[in-house]
Amino acid sequence: MINLQVDELESPGNYCKIMLFFGIHPYFSNNVIVKEYLTNSHGYTAYHSTPVKWRRKYRCEAHRSRYYNNSLNIFSWLTDHTVADSDWIADIICKDVWLNPLPYYLGSKYLEMA
């Protein structure tokens, strides 16, 4: 991932759009993947995401990781609206990573010093 952007709109409804920008890599061919969430007092509800265009070598791995692994992983988060804790990931990205990226950029050494 080379960039991250979050757009939050409060009108006409509460809405959060997470855009993940990617450089060239061997896993999928998308340059941008968008995850969209509706928000309310109960949290985030995923309702749309860009279909991931997996490269042939990783298509089976992504499918296997998505359907045969009960834990949250990047494959399931990118492709499944109903995955458990998807709203938790959206909350972290929108309310923490996007607003205060420095600790994530600098890594754990910064967090230990803080």
pLDDT in tens, 47-72: 888 988 888 877 666 555 555 556 67
Instruction: Quote the pTM value.
Output: 0.76
DSSP string of the chain, one letter each residue: --EEEEEEE-SSS-EEEEEEE--S-SSB--SEEEEEEEEETTEEEEEEEPPP-B-HHHHHHHHHHHHS--S--HHHHHH-TT-TTHHHHHHHIIIIITT--HHHHH-HHHHHH-
* pLDDT tens-digit readout, 7-47: 988 766 688 899 999 999 888 899 999 999 888 877 888 88
Tally of domains within the chain: 1
CATH number where 17 lies: 3.30.1120.90
Question: Could you give the CA distance from residue 24 to residue 107 in angstroms, rounded to a whole number?
Answer: 23
| Mode of pairing for the β-strands spanning 3-9 and 43-49 | unpaired
- Give pLDDT, residue 62: 59
**What range defines the domain where residue 44 resides?**
3-113
42 within 8 A of 51, measured Cβ to Cβ: no
